[in-house]
Amino acid sequence: MIYYILLSLMFIYLLILIVMIKLGWGKKLKCNNCINCCPNCYPEVKIPLTRINRNKYDKIFNHITLRLFKFKKYECNHCHWQGLRCS
Ligand SMILES: [Zn+2]
């Protein structure tokens, strides 16, 4: 009985992840100037984000999402926003 519950929970989790990929969650913001704009200052300032190293929490988050998103960490040189984006 417990296996059925666990299996259905895993299936629901996988479905949610697939829906999020289809909706484009965490995707890079594209504009005329660059292919990876900062989500914080997008309409006003259009400069590309720079790649930085991921910390251990980002790596754990990557494993929790079953590495389906292929997250990479970026920083904005203008507003110092940091976050994960997937291609
Ligand atoms: Zn910014």
Distance (Å, rounded) from C-alpha 47 to C-alpha 23?
A: 24
Please report which residue ranges of 1-87 form alpha helices under DSSP H: 2-23, 56-64
The count of domains in the chain is 1
For the entire predicted model, the pTM comes to 0.82
In a domain, 13, yes or no: no
Residues 18-77 have pLDDT tens digits of 999 999 999 999 988 889 999 999 888 888 999 999 999 999 999 999 999 999 999 999
In a domain, 2, yes or no: no
The torsion of the CA quartet 20, 21, 26, 32, rounded to 10 degrees, works out to -130
Range of the domain at 61: 26-86
Report CA(48)–ligand 1 centroid distance (Å). 9
Report CA(8)–ligand 1 centroid distance (Å). 40
In a domain, 11, yes or no: no
